[in-house]
Chain A
């Protein structure tokens, strides 16, 4: 009992900590729906992983990266807006994923676990994915930080000042794909984007610089996970939804506190 709770806490908090800066970028660049589309595509990865006899995590990572690259190509040449492309990609890959899973007659796939996550079933391999992948993602993001902020603030200005924007964008999308692949094991396909954007959105009000927001998003996300897991254990709630509900609760508290402060003379 204690061991799996500690393991869940470790996994969840580690995930939330490295999601903070990436979640901030998703908020700044209005990529929430992009994250959602990748998460939907991930189910196809689960099915492919099972079909090919590989680790589902690997399947998810491969499909997320492939979906991100498909989007990059489509948006550069297409006439359709980003949200339309994302909608097509998200729902059609989810449909393909569900069909593929239906073909898996020999393996019983716990669909609910993939849709809504299962923090309490975290394995040692998952911990390696979270902390290894998280460390790599954080290191890459730190190395690209300044040009990436410059490109996010104003793309043309950054380009004139010598920043090569396209490789940066591709790198950011791949990092987000990797993060979603790792995170969906814990909170599920349908909820993983929430864990990226809600802590960052909560941090916005408290931050005056991008760096402050990124760090605060990590801290708030860690708190959200701890609260959600505690509630999950105390009242036997499904863990993924409990974490997202906790994050939403903290966000609303932040709104109320902000409104009260603004009203005070």
Chain B
């Protein structure tokens, strides 16, 4: 692949507006998602992040504007809340097999990759919040997607685990050259793990490289500047990694 060639557009949104009744939840959004690029959608609660994601996935039709998808787009999606009725018995392994034609070996390998190998035969409903997030991420990865859409991929995951998951997302992007759309509100972690940040508050307030967005007046008005020291403090924290059961596995210097 030629590095200087422009990356393929996977999803193109133009003038996307969604109204529920008379209230606009998101308004006039232009957004392109490219292969090999990590885009993070940030915004306060109720800013329309999840609604916009649902429109980009084709789960809701926009009230106005349009969304176009690349013809061979293969989506991997990890929704924000995934609870399964307690009346439905299902192991993590069986949940992952629902991704499509995937073999046992692929399931085992992907679970190991997300650090949840020990959950394979556990009932899904009995997983902890963090374990469930990892299993749902594995389901998205198993589809070998060329666009990975992760709505709050680290909600309920402990701090060290969050860094580990963002590192994994970057690694997968580097390996498969897939596009990645993240939704998040844990800003300091996301800042270091993303190429583009789109700051949403019903409309796109500002977007660009993370360093530029973090200095943008609209961003500061929404989130304040308190995040900056948190980022600095955090950078010193991850000098080692934890395995699935919390043990320190290796010194790493790639972060």
A residues in contact (CB < 8 Å) with B: 27-30, 146, 149-150, 152-154, 156-161, 201, 204, 207-210, 212-213
A161 and B98 alpha carbons, distance in the complex (Å): 9
- Chain B contributes a number of interface residues (CB within 8 A of A) equal to 24
* 20 A-B pairs (CB sep. < 8 Å): A27-B88, A30-B85, A30-B87, A149-B98, A153-B84, A153-B95, A153-B98, A154-B79, A154-B84, A156-B54, A156-B59, A156-B77, A156-B79, A161-B77, A161-B99, A201-B87, A207-B89, A209-B90, A210-B89, A213-B89
Given contacts A146-B98, A153-B95, A157-B77, contact A210 B57 (CB under 8 A): no
Return A247 CB to nearest CB of chain B, in Å: 17
A171 and B212 alpha carbons, distance in the complex (Å): 52
Residue of A nearest to B121 (CB): A208
Q: Are A160 and B90 in contact (CB under 8 A)?
A: no
A213 and B85 alpha carbons, distance in the complex (Å): 14
Q: Could you list 10 further interchain pairs (A-B, Cβ under 8 angstroms) beyond the known A27-B87, A209-B94?
A: A153-B84, A154-B79, A156-B77, A159-B59, A160-B57, A160-B149, A161-B99, A207-B89, A210-B88, A213-B88
B residues in contact (CB < 8 Å) with A: 54, 57-59, 75, 77, 79, 82, 84-85, 87-91, 94-95, 98-100, 123, 139, 143, 149
Given contacts A156-B79, A159-B59, contact A209 B98 (CB under 8 A): no
A209 and B99 alpha carbons, distance in the complex (Å): 16
Q: Are A154 and B99 in contact (CB under 8 A)?
A: no
Residue of A nearest to B85 (CB): A28
- Residues on B with C-beta less than 8 A from A28 are 85, 87-88
Residue of A nearest to B57 (CB): A160
Indicate the member of A30, A154, A158, A212 with the most B CB atoms within 10 Å.
Answer: A154
Residue of A nearest to B84 (CB): A153
Indicate the member of B84, B91, B98 with the most A CB atoms within 10 Å.
Answer: B98
Q: Are A157 and B139 in contact (CB under 8 A)?
A: yes
A208 and B89 alpha carbons, distance in the complex (Å): 5
Residue of A nearest to B93 (CB): A209
- Residues on B with C-beta less than 8 A from A158 are 98
Q: Are B77 and A212 in contact (CB under 8 A)?
A: no
Which of A29, A157, A161, A204 is B89 in contact with, Cβ under 8 Å? A204
Return A258 CB to nearest CB of chain B, in Å: 14
